[in-house]
Structure 1
């Protein structure tokens, strides 16, 4: 009789441990999904600013068509990218195109003095900071989640219930190297 009670208590403790572990993994997975949604919100904000910026520059630097087209093409690629790896690559390409656009703007003092351009440039800088923070938050959430599904005893529950490791939002290899400045 006592053995049955002890066995029952052990089964209840094991069930409690499994449920608690499963719920913790679900919360961590939800945090990763939420963090990705926040990146998406910030990227949409950035993508919405870019056409206004391009239109403002067009009026001053119409003959810089190649640069403007590169920004538009990079934006389109970024809007349609799927998953952290593709999104990171597309966003890095867009960042490079925007850098070229701002470099072109340096040659046009009237453009630099334009209030619309200055406001859009400031808005874009703010967006970049928000995106950087969102990426960091996402990667922190992925780290917590991936650690959670790989540690004992959660790895047993994760394996039984189909939890899969998530991908970090990383810059491509060439983006991690030293910056080269050419004059």
Structure 2
């Protein structure tokens, strides 16, 4: 009798443990889905801002047709539905690269850079990128926790029984770029000086006085003959003798 009671208690405990693990896995999966919806909202906002940015650039640089078309094609690919997080990340990476080329083209147009609409769109786009980065960190943290539960024992047994699999991370490729380095320090010796700069003296500056000529060597002195001697000073004449004084009377 006691044996059956013990077995029943053990079975009840196992069922309660399995239910707890299952509920925890479902909760993590829902958190992952919710985090992905937040990313999706910010991505849609990003796509709208990029479309408006392209229209603004087109008004000032319509002849940059190739760059504008590349951005619009990458935007259309990123907006395509039914993509997994990994596929979406690849599409967003391509869009970021095309957008970078568009911004580089815009730098050549001072009127465009000073346009208020263009500046506002850039600020909104920067703010949206920051929100996407924050949402991506939250999403990836939940994905990591879910995948850990799915892959570790004994929770992986429950996950396998109910077909709860791993989730994909969202990592945008090509997002990080090397910062632009501006060096105002001393000029490197390997870099050629600018035009009009020769020998460390700017063009038009008075030349430094040349050094005194070196003394001739002994061989050069012998070949050129004996050096002329200085003329001896003329002998100084003796003063005339003094006249005798006449005797007193």
TM-score by length of 1: 0.91
Match in the other structure for 1:58:
58
Shift of 1:14: 0.8
* Structure 2: 5+ residue stretches without partners: 181-249
Q: Deviations over 1:80-126 (max 9, x none)?
A: 16111211111011001111111111111111111100000000011
Q: What root-mean-square deviation, in Å, do the aligned CA atoms of Structure 1 and Structure 2 show?
A: 1.8
Taking the TM superposition and a 5 Å limit, the aligned residue runs for 1:1-183 are 1-80=1-80, 82-172=83-173, 175=174, 179=178
SS in 2 for 1:63: coil
For residues 164 and 121 of structure 1, what CA distance do their matches in structure 2 show? 39
How much does 1:7 deviate?
1.8
| Residues paired across the two proteins, number | 179
Q: Which 5+ residue runs of structure 1 have no aligned equivalent?
A: none
Counterpart Cα distance in 1 of 2:127 and 2:26: 32
Which SS does the other structure have where 2:165 is aligned? coil
Mapped partners of 1:51, 1:168: distance in 2: 27
> Aligned-pair distance for 1:180?
9.8
Q: Which has the larger radius of gyration?
A: 2
Moved more, 32-41 or 13-22: 32-41
CA contact (8 A) 2:54 2:68 kept: yes
Q: Mark the CA change 1:176 to 1:104 in structure 2 (over 3 Å): closer, same or farther.
A: closer
How many angstroms does 1:171 deviate by? 3.8
Whose helix proportion is higher, 1 or 2?
Answer: 1
